[in-house]
Amino acid sequence: MNFSLTKEQTLFLQMIRAFVENEVKPLAAEIDEEERFPLETVQKMAQIGLMGIPFSVEYGGAGGDNILYSMAVEELSKACGTTGVIVSAHTSLCAAPIYEFGTEEQKQKYLPKLCSGEWIGAFGLTEPNAGTDASAQQTTAILNGDHYILNGSKIFITNAAYAHIYIVMAMTDKSQGTRGISAFIVERDTPGFSIGKKEKKMGIRGSATCELIFENCIIPKENLLGKVGGGFALAMKTLDGGRIGIASQALGIAQGAMDETVKYVKERKQFGKPIGQFQNTQFQLADLDAKIEASRLLVRVAAYKKDMKLPYSVEAARAKLFAAETSMEVTSKAVQFHGGYGYTREYSVERMMRDAKITEIYEGTSEVQRMVIAASLLK
Amino acid sequence: MKIIVCIKQVPDTTEIKLNPETGTMIRDGVPSIMNPDDKGGLEMALSLKDQFGAHVTVITMGPAQADQILREAFAMGVDRAIHLTDKRFAGADTLATSNAISGALRNLEYDLIITGRQAIDGDTAQVGPQIAELLDLPQVTYVEDLQFENGTFTIRKANEEGYQMVQVEAPCLITVLASANQPRYMSVNGIMTAYKKEVEVWGFEQITVDETKLGLKGSPTRVHKSFSKGVKSAGQKYEVDPQMAVEIIMDKLKEKFII
């Protein structure tokens, strides 16, 4: 067991910390305030290979791994939760299922453009009546000659408004239940496909979260991803990987709030001394720091197991559960440490607390993570 | 086009803290970085690579840990890296350093040699010009911008009043300012392959120079005395509105007979 950073990881952290400081942090408050998708940042990330970290060079990827990807999402999210989730959804929910389940033709067609960031990716599973109960899919896909016809809608889709490629689940045979769900690769300009309303959210407000609408949308047969009826399993496996991304995002937000708080309590004076000198502050910070580091280890273990091609579903659930709840606790306490200032938008902890909340909800709520963990204990 | 960029590993002086009692630098735990002016020079070379397919070599002289900046250069996109390291190079002042580096450059092909203007640890700005003299090359210092067309470099050179436009033909040497550009980030794939590439380690045997011109022996600089600059006491701090601030500043300037 080795907890040291490799030379490559050390160099990567040096690079990405400079990138975040210069390119991500200065925009974080602005894109939140304006609810604006940071396309310019995505282009800069694309130039240096951040849109295809864990994929092989053969498909245009950077030739990194999931540990490096986890570090990237963490570092981006320290300054900006929005930027973190853009990379996470693109990588884990769109490029990864094509990489893992796609045919050679699909990989050759889509991965180079996704990895280079020329195309942004998204994923559509959730529907108005299929949230945690994702099996209750109402979107249908009917085979008609050499194509499928999709009808229905998806909601809360990260990156939706700026994506070019969507991985979409639809019911191909209702009588088969979850085994009647299939996955499809949908291109942006497909006839019958459109983007619906944009959500007004509490946090990650720069992320373009929208509805996807399918009205007799014609998908070529070869855009079926995986097997007919294999879509539900594909979606669940994809979300296992996604949880590494979201756990990393939660971890980054928590660490970002912690860093801001440590700086603040050294400077803020009350009763004649910096508030960091009160034992109440110190003990609380110590507890939060331990939880953040525990989150980090849980995330890295899940990423490591994925890299080693070992089962990692439970590890990813643990990491996401613990990192998300830690993130909410840390950011909420960070606001408390900042007092009235922390409640204003002048201080970034206010945004971080709003951004943290979603990590307990999307890509499987904390309750879903508990279900996954408990099921593995009691099987 | 063949370009050689001379780079140096330096302590990150923005991270340096002073010991308040002795006034000396606390070097422990200070990260080492690629010297900023050198990084500006490297970016200039890589941009010529982007435009004209130039072949870019980086060279550094320093102890084993200087390997790190060569890996960083690989991750930014250079083609070749050479690490000059030998006990006989140790203790070199700027002249002995320039002798060693130009000794290596004599064994390499180049159209353009780029150095940073100066290193943030020594601030002498001597090595670049000395290398040019030793290799008998035309040199342009304080370069802010460079364009290449038909074998000629058109260069914008900063001076105290503004800038000068200069034309020079290859081969030549330029010294570049950090402010010339925004250096690119290392790419993720560049990082993943940086340690798989070979850094060529060159010692005395690989370079062409008289041994007496190297290291401490070859360094005419004698340090007469070194001392710490006294630490000034903290200034007075006023938190006042701009009008009041102007009055306070005016009073202070008058008090010191500056105005």
Interface contact B188-A48, CB threshold 8 A: yes
Q: pLDDT digits over A62-80, tens only?
A: 999 999 999 999 999 999 9
Strand partners, B154: B147, B167
DSSP strand pairing (B152-158 vs B163-169): antiparallel
> How many whole angstroms separate alpha carbon A68 and alpha carbon A80?
18
Does residue B253 register a pLDDT over 70?
yes
Q: Does residue B140 belong to any structural domain of this protein?
A: yes
Query: Is A260 in the active site?
Result: no
pLDDT at B228 over 90: no
pLDDT computed for residue B257 by the predictor: 83
For A239, residues 6+ apart whose C-beta sits below 8 A from its C-beta are: A93, A125, A363, A364
Residue A18 is nearest to which of B185, B189, B191, comparing CB atoms?
B185
Quickly list DSSP for chain B: -EEEEE--EEE-GGG-EE-TTT--EE-TTPPEEE-HHHHHHHHHHHHHHHHH--EEEEEEES-GGGHHHHHHHHHHT-SEEEEE--GGGTT--HHHHHHHHHHHHTTS--SEEEEES--TTT----HHHHHHHHTT--EEEEEEEEEEETTEEEEEEE-SSSEEEEEEESSEEEEE-GGG--PPPPPHHHHHHHTTSPEEEE-GGGS-S-GGGSTTTT---------PPPPPPP-------HHHHHHHHHHHHHHTT--
Domain membership flag for residue B240: no
pLDDT of residue B150: 87
- Taking the complete model, does pTM exceed 0.90, yes or no? yes
Chain A residue at shortest CA distance from B191:
A8
Put simply, the chain A residues between 32 and 51 with a CB less than 8 A from any chain B CB are: 47-50
Give yes or no for residue B24 having a pLDDT over 80.
no
Q: Please, are residues A193 and A214 in contact by the beta-carbon 8 Å criterion? A: yes
CA angle A11, A14, A18 (to 5 degrees): 145
- Average the pLDDT over A200-214 and give the result: 96
Our CA dihedral for A51, A52, A54, A56, rounded to 10 degrees, sits at -170
Q: Which residue of A has its CA nearest to B184?
A: A48
A194: left (phi over 0), alpha (psi -120 to 50) or beta: beta
Distance of residue B236 Cα from the nearest chain A Cα, in angstroms: 18
Res A2: pLDDT = 87
pLDDT digits (tens, 9 = 90+) for B50-62: 999 999 999 999 9
Q: Is the pLDDT of residue B23 over 80?
A: no
Which comes out higher in pLDDT, residue B256 or A124?
A124
Return the pLDDT at A127.
96
Residue B187 has its nearest CB partner, among A7, A14, A48, at A48
Distance from CA of A15 to the nearest CA of B (A): 6
pLDDT tens for residues A208-263? 999 999 999 999 999 999 999 999 999 999 999 999 999 999 999 999 999 999 99
SS3 A346: coil
Q: Given CB atoms, is B67 within the 8 Å cutoff of chain A?
A: no
* Residue B19 maps to a domain: yes
Per CB-CB distance under 8 Å, the chain B contacts of A11 are 71-72, 75, 186, 191, 194
The pLDDT of residue A24 is above 70: yes
Complex prediction ipTM:
0.93
Can you tell me the mean pLDDT for A320-329?
98
Of A80, A12, A83, give the one whose Cα is nearest residue A45.
A83
CATH code of the domain in which B131 resides: 3.40.50.620
> What part of A 313-332 touches B (C-beta under 8 Å)?
none
pLDDT at B169: 95
Per-residue pLDDT of B113-155, as tens digits, reads 999 999 988 889 999 999 999 999 999 999 999 999 988 999 9
Cα(B177)–Cα(A50) distance, rounded to whole angstroms? 29
User: Is B246 inside a domain boundary?
Assistant: no
Q: Is residue A14 within 8 angstroms of chain B, CB to CB?
A: yes
Does B171 have pLDDT greater than 90? yes
**Least CB-CB distance to A49: which of B71, B72, B189?**
B189
A5 touches chain B (CB under 8 A): no
Whether the CB of B191 is below 8 Å from some CB of chain A: the reply is yes
What tens digit of pLDDT does each residue of A129-165 get? 999 998 899 999 999 999 999 999 999 999 999 999 9
In B117-132, which positions are buried (b, 16+ CB within 10 angstroms) versus exposed (e)?
A: bbbbbeeebbbbbbbb
Mean pLDDT, chain A, rounded, equals 97
Q: Structural domain of residue B136, as residue ranges?
A: 2-213
Residue in B149, B144, B113 with CA at minimum distance from that of residue B131 = B113
Average pLDDT value over all residues in chain B: 92
* B227 in a structural domain: no
* pLDDT above 70 (res B242): yes
Lowest mean pLDDT among A235-244, A294-303, B204-213, B247-256: B247-256
pLDDT for the residue numbered B121: 85
Closest B-chain CA to A18: B185
pLDDT at B27: 67
pLDDT at B246: 94
Residue B243 placed within a domain: no
Indicate whether B259 belongs to any domain: no
**Number of domains into which chain B is organized:** 1
For residue B158, being part of any structural domain is answered with yes
